[in-house]
Amino acid sequence: MAQLRQDYAEFESRNTRIVVVGPEQPEAFIDYFSKNDLPFTGLPDPSASVLKLYGQEVNLFKLGRMPAQVIVDRAGVVRFVHYGHSMSDIPENSELFGLLDEINVASGE
């Protein structure tokens, strides 16, 4: 999440809302977000219902939930999905910016 926070203004300039979904209880989410001064939305999902809908993998041998990044356009269409194979397997922000720019051009923004 640090890289998302680092480039938060760049995401905002692309009319992008960041929503972080995690399996923790609401209290844990509130505590983590406030301690780390995260500017985006956190969605606690203790029953993992949202995470299951998006197919996020759980691998107990690799510390639990594998990272997943999903870009959903304004119409609710999933335009990009990356399922990480390890905790460090996440796309660079520059890659996400390129995808967001393409989506914005295609939608006339």
CATH number at residue 46: 3.40.30.10
What pLDDT score was predicted for residue 40? Answer: 93
The pLDDT, as a whole number, for residue 47 is 86
Query: Residue 107 and residue 109: Cα distance in Å, rounded?
Result: 6
Do the Cβ atoms of 93 and 1 come closer than 8 Å?
no
- The mean pLDDT values, 10 residues at a time, for the chain of 109 residues are 91 94 89 92 88 74 74 90 86 95 86
Place of tokens 């967001």: 100
How far, CA to CA in Å, does 84 sit from each of 15, 28, 80, 90? 25, 23, 13, 6
Instruction: Provide the residue range defining the domain that includes 33.
Output: 2-106
d(CA 49, CA 43) in angstroms, rounded, equals: 11
CA atoms of 39 and 4, how far apart (whole Å): 9
Q: Quick one: pLDDT at residue 85?
A: 82
Strands 78-83 and 68-72: antiparallel
CA distance 33 to 89: 22
Query: How many domains does one find in the chain?
Result: 1
- Its pTM stands at 0.82
The reported pLDDT for the residue numbered 59 is 57
Three-state secondary structure call for residue 56: coil
